[in-house]
Structure 1
Amino acid sequence: MITEFEQAQDWVNSLKKHPEKDFFEPIENGKWSVAEIIAHLAFWDKYVLEAILPNMKQNTDIKSIDFQELNDQASNYALSGISGKSLINQFVEGRKSLVTELRNKTDSEFYVQFKINGDEVDPYSGAPFSMYSYISSFIWHDNHHKKQIIEFFNSKYAEDFQVK
Structure 2
Amino acid sequence: MYPTNNLINDFEGFNSYVSSLKKIDETLFFEPIADGKWSIAEIISHISFWDRYIREETLPQMKSNAVIETIDFETLNGQAEKYALSGVSQLHLLQQKLEERSLLATDLRKKDEDEFFEKFILNGEEIDKYSGYPHTIFNYIAGFQWHDNHHRQQIDVFLKGKEV
Shorter-normalised TM range: over 0.9
Q: Does 1:113 align with 2:119?
A: yes
Task: State the match for 1:67 in structure 2.
Answer: 73
Q: Which residue of 2 aligns with 1:52?
A: 58
Cα distance in structure 2, aligned partners of 1:59 and 1:84 = 41
The equivalent residue for 2:19 is: 13
Give secondary structure in 1 for the equivalent of 2:135.
coil
Deviations 1:83-102 (A, max 9, x none): 11110000000000000001
How many Å separate the matches in 2 of 1:95 and 1:85? 16
- Structure 2: which 5+ runs fail to align? 1-6
1:22-63 CA distance string (max 9 Å, x none):
111000000000000000000000000000000001111111
- TM-score normalised by L of structure 2: 0.95
Tell me by how many angstroms 1:117 deviates.
1.4
SS in 1 for 2:130: coil
Gaps of 5+ in 1: 159-164
Aligned structure 1 segments of 4 or more residues deviating by more than 4 angstroms = none
1:118 shift after superposition: 1.3
Equivalent AA in structure 2 for residue 67 of structure 1: F
Q: Shift in Å at residue 157 of structure 1?
A: 1.7
Aligned equivalent of 1:33: 39
> Which one-letter code corresponds to 1:94 in the other structure?
E
How far has the Cα of 1:133 moved from its partner? 0.3
Distance in 2, Cα, partners of 1:122 & 1:77: 29
Structure 1 residues 107-126: Cα deviation after superposition (integer angstroms, max 9, x where no partner):
00000000111111111111
Residue 110 of structure 2: aligned partner: 104
Which of 87, 91, 97 is equivalent to 1:91?
97
Match of 1:162 in 2: none
Q: Which has the larger radius of gyration?
A: 1
Q: 2:162 aligns to what SS in structure 1?
A: helix
Give the structure 2 partner of residue 154 of structure 1: 160
Aligned alpha-carbon RMSD (Å): 0.8
**Identical pairs, percent:** 51
Q: What SS is found at the alignment partner of 2:132? A: coil
CA–CA distance in structure 1, aligned partners of residues 19 and 91 of structure 2: 9
Q: TM-score, normalised by structure 1?
A: 0.95
